Amino acid sequence: MPDHQSTAAIWQGCHLRLAIDAAGVTLFSWNVDTDRLTMDDIAYGLWGIPRGGDVTFEDLSVHIHPADRNRVRAAFAATRGVIGAYEIDFRIVHDDEVRWISARGQGDDADIENRVMFGIFLDVTGRKQAEEANELLAGEMSHRVKNLLAIATGLTTITSRSTTTVQEMAHELTGRLTALGRAHDLVRPIPGQQGTAALLGDLISILLAPYNDLGAFSGRIRVSVPRMGVGETAATTLALVIHELATNSLKYGALSEATGTLDVSCTSHGDQVTLVWTERGGPPVASPSDVAGFGSKLIRRSIAGQLRGSIDYAWHVDGVVATLVIDKARLAT
């Protein structure tokens, strides 16, 4: 019959295992001479390899993301020279899903026993995704602030062309900035809203109203789209895209010139809606060298992820033409 100390040890061991499982921690040991690892059952599941028996680093490396493989191999080889604790974060691919793993232990042969070092694998995918989301949000906020400053400058220039007194300019500029504020509200979701958000034509017209320069000539911005409803999610995404295109036009394209025009047209065929953004009369344009700028990434990610669509650009000398193809079913959501 087990004595009190052995019973207590068993009890502690069981509860320690429960605590480890609850924390999502998996255990491994590494024989520094044979380069073989022994892992617990949860670690085998984490890596997506058959349970039981020892494995080598090469067995695990097959599952490490190719972009991280050499870095992780070098880091593991260097752990014995690390003074104190070490931590290596890397990606693995399991069932076509990318997961982030953190390998942690003690370097410099600390706590080594019979030529075996011990450590843990921890799934840190949630933390990494949160970090990436925060970085994306910070980048998007910085991008929007810069755009708003550029928009304010552009709207001031437009207003100065259509007014003759300081009072007129102040009044018209205030109206444009107020309209810009209403348009900006469409770029973010509004909690609690139900049903169809807007008609497509109304949505585009509201977004482009601050940029229209009636002092130059009537009809500078023309919107011609069929009567079509837009859902709440699609309205937010589409507003973001239109806002980005208008900002770029105000800074570099047709809306930056008094003679520039913008036509937005739309057709619907089958299960797709095609929106064409056509600029004319602005400064000569050419395909930008930085096709992967933050604004371009933002537009492409929004259209592909939320609208199941795509955007293509044609860089004509007299103005850019952007063609958006959107899934009709997604437009109504």
Residue 144 and residue 243 in one domain:
yes
Residue 245 and residue 327 in one domain:
yes
Task: Name the residue among 224, 188, 187 with its Cα closest to residue 205.
Answer: 224
**Residue 22: its pLDDT value, please?**
54
Confidence of residue 7 (pLDDT cuts 50, 70, 90): very low
Q: Which domain holds residue 266?
A: 136-331
Residue 77 has pLDDT above 50, yes or no: yes
Helix (H) or strand (E) holding 233: helix 232-252
**Residue 8: its pLDDT value, please?**
44
CA dist list (Å): 13 to 18, 74, 169: 9, 34, 78
Residue 270 and residue 151 in one domain:
yes
Give the chain's domain count.
Answer: 2
Domain boundary among 77, 102, 123: 123
**Residue 217: its pLDDT value, please?**
52
Residue 269 and residue 168 in one domain:
yes
> Where residue 290 sits, what CATH number does that domain have?
3.30.565.10
Residue 13 and residue 93 in one domain:
yes
Q: Residue 255, Cβ neighbours under 10 Å: how many?
A: 28
Residue 78 and residue 217 in one domain:
no
Q: Is the dihedral of CA 59, 63, 64, 70 positive or negative?
A: positive
pLDDT tens-digit readout, 179-237: 666 656 655 544 444 445 678 888 888 888 877 765 545 578 899 998 888 887 788 78
Q: Lowest mean pLDDT: which of 79-88, 144-153, 222-231, 255-264?
A: 144-153
pLDDT tens-digit readout, 137-149: 677 667 666 666 6
Query: Are residues 246 and 290 in contact, defined by beta-carbon separation less than 8 angstroms?
Result: no
Residue 148 and residue 90 in one domain:
no
Residue 279 in any domain: the answer is yes
Distance CA 310, CA 214 (A): 32
pLDDT tens-digit readout, 262-314: 999 999 988 999 999 999 988 888 777 655 565 677 678 778 877 888 999 99
Distance CA 42, CA 44 (A): 5
Stronger pLDDT, 172 or 269, i.e. the higher one: 269
Residue 251 in any domain: the answer is yes
Q: Residue 331, Cβ neighbours under 10 Å: how many?
A: 24
> Order of strands across the sheet with 55-56?
55-56, 36-39, 25-31, 116-123, 97-106, 85-94
Distance CA 145, CA 322 (A): 24
Stronger pLDDT, 175 or 306, i.e. the higher one: 306
Stronger pLDDT, 17 or 310, i.e. the higher one: 310
pTM: 0.50
pLDDT tens-digit readout, 56-76: 878 888 888 888 888 888 877
pLDDT tens-digit readout, 102-122: 888 776 666 666 777 788 888
Domain boundary among 58, 90, 123: 123
Query: Are residues 188 and 171 in contact, defined by beta-carbon separation less than 8 angstroms?
Result: no
Confidence of residue 165 (pLDDT cuts 50, 70, 90): confident
CA dist list (Å): 67 to 2, 71, 110, 112: 52, 8, 30, 30
Residue 172 and residue 107 in one domain:
no
Exposure pattern of 90-121 as b/e (b: 16+ CB <10 Å)? bbbeeeeeebbbbbebbbeeeeeeeebbebbb
Query: Are residues 236 and 211 in contact, defined by beta-carbon separation less than 8 angstroms?
Result: no
Residue 179 in any domain: the answer is yes
Residue 101 and residue 179 in one domain:
no
Q: Lowest mean pLDDT: which of 3-12, 87-96, 238-247?
A: 3-12
Beta strand 310-316 with 55-56 is unpaired
**Residue 291: its pLDDT value, please?**
53
Residue 88 in any domain: the answer is yes
Residue 189 and residue 59 in one domain:
no
Domain boundary among 98, 123, 148: 123
Residue 88 and residue 143 in one domain:
no
Residue 131 in any domain: the answer is no
Stronger pLDDT, 21 or 270, i.e. the higher one: 270
Residue 270 in any domain: the answer is yes
> Where residue 26 sits, what CATH number does that domain have?
3.30.450.20
Residue 130 in any domain: the answer is no
**Which residues lie below 8 Å from residue 6, measured CB to CB, with a gap of 6+?**
none
Residue 115 and residue 228 in one domain:
no
Residue 206 in any domain: the answer is yes
